[in-house]
Chain A
Amino acid sequence: MSATGQSADAVKIPPPAAEAPAAGAKRRFVADARTFVRETDRRAFLRRALAGYEATRDTQKARYRDWEQARDAANLAKWNAVNRLDEMLVRFAEAFEAGGGKVHWARDAEEARGIILGIVRDCGARAIIKSKCMTSEEIHLNAALEAEGYGVVESDLGEFIQQLRGEPPFHFVFPCMHVLRGEISKLFEEHLGSAPTNEPEELTMIARRHMRRLYVEADVGITGGNFLVAETGQISITENEGNARLTAALPRVHVALVGIEKCVERLDDLAVLLPMLATAGTGQPLTCYNTLYGGPRRPGETDGPREMHVVLLDNGRSAILADPEQRDSLQCIRCGACLNVCPIFKNVGGFTYGTTYQGPIGSVITPHLRGLADWNHLSQASSLCGACTDACPVRIDIHHHLLHNRRNAVRGTPSRLGRAAHRAFAFVAARPRLFALGGALFRRTLWLAKRLRPPPLSAWLATRDLPRPPARSFREQWRSRPLPALASAPAARERP
Chain B
Amino acid sequence: MNARDTILARVREALSVEGPGPHQRAGDKAGHGHPPAAPVRGALPVVALEAARPWLPDGGATPEERAAILEGNLARLKAVLHRVPTLHRARDLLFALARERDWKRVAWHAEALVEALLPGIPCALHRVDAPAGPAADSAAGKDALESCDAGITACEALVAQTGSILVSSATCGGRSLSVLPPVHVVVASPGQIVATLADALDLARDRHAGAMPSMLSFITGPSRTGDIERILVLGAHGPKELIVILVDDVGS
Which residues of A pack against B, CB within 8 Å?
45, 49, 52-53, 63-73, 75-77, 79-80, 83-86, 89-90, 93, 99-100, 104-107, 111, 155-158, 161, 174-177, 179-181, 184, 200-201, 203-205, 207-208, 211-212, 215-216, 232, 234, 240-243, 245-246, 248-250, 252, 260, 265-272, 274-275, 282, 284-298, 300-304, 306, 308, 312, 314, 318-319, 321-322, 324-325, 327-328, 386, 389-390, 395, 397, 399-400
Docked-complex contact A70 and B52, CB < 8 angstroms:
yes
Chain A residue, CB-CB nearest to B137? A303
Partner of A85, one of B6, B15, B32: B15
Docked-complex contact A304 and B175, CB < 8 angstroms:
yes
Smallest Cβ distance from A256 to chain B, in angstroms?
13
Docked-complex contact B52 and A399, CB < 8 angstroms:
no
B interface, over-half SS:
loop
CA distance A240 to B231 in the complex (A): 13
Question: Within 8 Å of chain A (Cβ to Cβ): is B189?
Answer: no
Q: Which residues of B contact A105 (CB under 8 A)?
A: 2-4, 6-7
Smallest Cβ distance from A43 to chain B, in angstroms?
15
Question: Within 8 Å of chain A (Cβ to Cβ): is B239?
Answer: yes
Docked-complex contact B215 and A288, CB < 8 angstroms:
no
Smallest Cβ distance from B204 to chain A, in angstroms?
8
Question: Within 8 Å of chain A (Cβ to Cβ): is B248?
Answer: no
Q: Which residues of B contact A207 (CB under 8 A)?
A: 236
CA distance A73 to B197 in the complex (A): 15
CA distance A280 to B3 in the complex (A): 35
CA distance A158 to B136 in the complex (A): 30
Docked-complex contact B233 and A288, CB < 8 angstroms:
no
Known contacts A174-B230, A302-B136: A64-B214 contact under CB 8 Å: no
CA distance A298 to B141 in the complex (A): 18
Known contacts A72-B25, A294-B214: A288-B223 contact under CB 8 Å: yes
Q: Which residues of A contact B236 (CB under 8 A)?
A: 157, 204, 207-208, 240-243
Known contacts A107-B6, A200-B229, A290-B220: A324-B17 contact under CB 8 Å: yes
Chain A residue, CB-CB nearest to B228? A200
Known contacts A324-B18, A324-B20: A246-B179 contact under CB 8 Å: yes
Docked-complex contact A70 and B56, CB < 8 angstroms:
yes
**What string of 1s and 0s marks CB contacts (under 8 Å) between B110-149 and chain A?**
0000000000000000001100000111010111001000
CA distance A79 to B73 in the complex (A): 31
Question: Within 8 Å of chain A (Cβ to Cβ): is B49?
Answer: yes
CA distance A295 to B214 in the complex (A): 5
Partner of A268, one of B20, B201, B211: B201
CA distance A59 to B183 in the complex (A): 29
Which among B60-68, B84-92, B97-105, B163-171 touches the partner chain? B163-171
Known pairs A70-B55, A86-B11; list 4 more (Cβ under 8 Å): A181-B228, A268-B202, A291-B215, A324-B19
CA distance A161 to B109 in the complex (A): 35
Which residues of B pack against A, CB within 8 Å?
2-4, 6-8, 10-15, 17-27, 29-32, 43-44, 46, 48-49, 51-58, 73, 76-77, 109, 128-129, 135-137, 139, 141-143, 146, 161-164, 169-170, 173-177, 179-180, 196-198, 201-202, 205, 211-231, 233, 235-239
CA distance A90 to B212 in the complex (A): 19
Known contacts A66-B26, A399-B32: A272-B49 contact under CB 8 Å: yes
Docked-complex contact A272 and B56, CB < 8 angstroms:
yes
Smallest Cβ distance from B39 to chain A, in angstroms?
9
CA distance A302 to B136 in the complex (A): 6
Partner of B57, one of A285, A287, A297: A285
Q: Which residues of A contact B169 (CB under 8 A)?
A: 297-298, 301-304
CA distance A184 to B230 in the complex (A): 13
Q: Which residues of A contact B218 (CB under 8 A)?
A: 274, 286, 289-291
Chain B residue, CB-CB nearest to A301? B169
Partner of B179, one of A71, A175, A234, A242: A242
Known contacts A105-B4, A242-B179: A275-B227 contact under CB 8 Å: no
Chain B residue, CB-CB nearest to A398? B32
Chain B residue, CB-CB nearest to A115? B3
Q: Which residues of B contact A75 (CB under 8 A)?
A: 22-24
Docked-complex contact A181 and B175, CB < 8 angstroms:
no
Docked-complex contact B215 and A248, CB < 8 angstroms:
yes
Partner of A72, one of B26, B202, B227: B26
Lowest 6 CB-CB distances: which A-B pairs, in order?
A242-B238, A324-B19, A73-B52, A302-B174, A241-B236, A249-B175
Docked-complex contact A294 and B26, CB < 8 angstroms:
no
Docked-complex contact B213 and A322, CB < 8 angstroms:
no
Partner of B51, one of A49, A73, A246, A298: A73
Docked-complex contact A304 and B137, CB < 8 angstroms:
yes
Partner of A386, one of B26, B32, B226: B32
Docked-complex contact A292 and B215, CB < 8 angstroms:
yes
Q: Which residues of A contact B176 (CB under 8 A)?
A: 246, 249-250, 303
Docked-complex contact B163 and A285, CB < 8 angstroms:
yes
Which has the most chain B C-beta neighbours within 10 Å: A181, A234, A240?
A240
Docked-complex contact B24 and A76, CB < 8 angstroms:
yes
CA distance A101 to B67 in the complex (A): 38
Known contacts A89-B8, A232-B212: A270-B44 contact under CB 8 Å: no
Smallest Cβ distance from B126 to chain A, in angstroms?
12
Smallest Cβ distance from B28 to chain A, in angstroms?
8
Q: Which residues of A contact B4 (CB under 8 A)?
A: 93, 105
Can you spell out 11 A-B residue pairs with CB atoms less than 8 angstroms apart? A52-B230, A72-B26, A79-B22, A216-B146, A232-B212, A288-B224, A298-B211, A298-B214, A303-B128, A324-B20, A395-B23
